[in-house]
Amino acid sequence: MIPIESKTLRFGLGCFETLKVYDNQEIAFFDEHFERLIYGSQVCGLAMPNKAKIKAEILEFVKKNSLQKQEAILRLILTSEAGLKYFLEPYKQTNIKLKLNISSQWFRQTNSVLNNFKSFNYLSNYLAQQQAQKDGFDDSIILNEKEEIAETSNANLFFLNQENIWLTPSLQSGCLNGIIRQQLIVFLGAKEQILYIKDLKNIKTIIATNSLIEAKNIKQVNEQFFQEVDTKPIKSFLRKTNL
């Protein structure tokens, strides 16, 4: 148990990664996630175990504990008190297309080093999503202090414009350089650029991406509706790339 006076609780000192385990027990993009966790540990000043050793332990753990033909979530949690801990939980993907609003309370700071990894300082993300759900949406699009589009509370965004060009917010917007984001920039030939809410009028399709959902259609942003795109080729590409 983490003591109440710990830096983890008092300051949110810690970092984490959330990985998908496929139904064949393969872990999606383990090395990429682990490298980001190492970066986070260095920023936070936390000790990390030997990568080769801990990877072998985690792979064995997943093999023994995950169910075949069922996807799972692998969570890696790093704190000063407990070191690196990991656990599995079931994952159930839904086919629901997401409804988003624009957060008016929570903003991304473009120059924060915390944008580069997943730290325990996720309260603003959590509260943004909670407020969106209270307002009848699934999540919020979060802007930065310049009113540029950054991401949602837990996903990167890709936009297909009327000229059939995929766009995604530049890292200068303060968005996380997500593992799936990196893959899809290549697969979709997406251009990184600064985007504003006013640019949505020239957008016909939006997808949200992260390591669990991989790619999911955005049905609506505020009162504007968007066309659905087939995400099966994206998911197939990600699995092939992970092999």
* Residue 105, pLDDT score: 93
Residues, the chain, total? 243
Domains, the chain, ordered by start: 7-90 (3.30.470.10), 98-242 (3.20.10.10)
- Sign (positive/negative) of CA torsion 194, 200, 201, 205? positive
pLDDT tens sequence across 109-118: 999 999 999 9
Q: What's the rounded Cα separation, in Å, for the pair 206 and 228? A: 8
Query: In the chain, what percentage of residues exceed pLDDT 90?
Result: 90
Q: What's the rounded Cα separation, in Å, for the pair 76 and 68? A: 21
4 pLDDT band, cuts 50/70/90, is confident
* Residue 171, pLDDT score: 97
Closest CA to 42 of 123, 120, 122, 117: 117
94 pLDDT band, cuts 50/70/90, is confident
pLDDT tens sequence across 42-71: 999 999 999 999 999 999 999 999 877 899
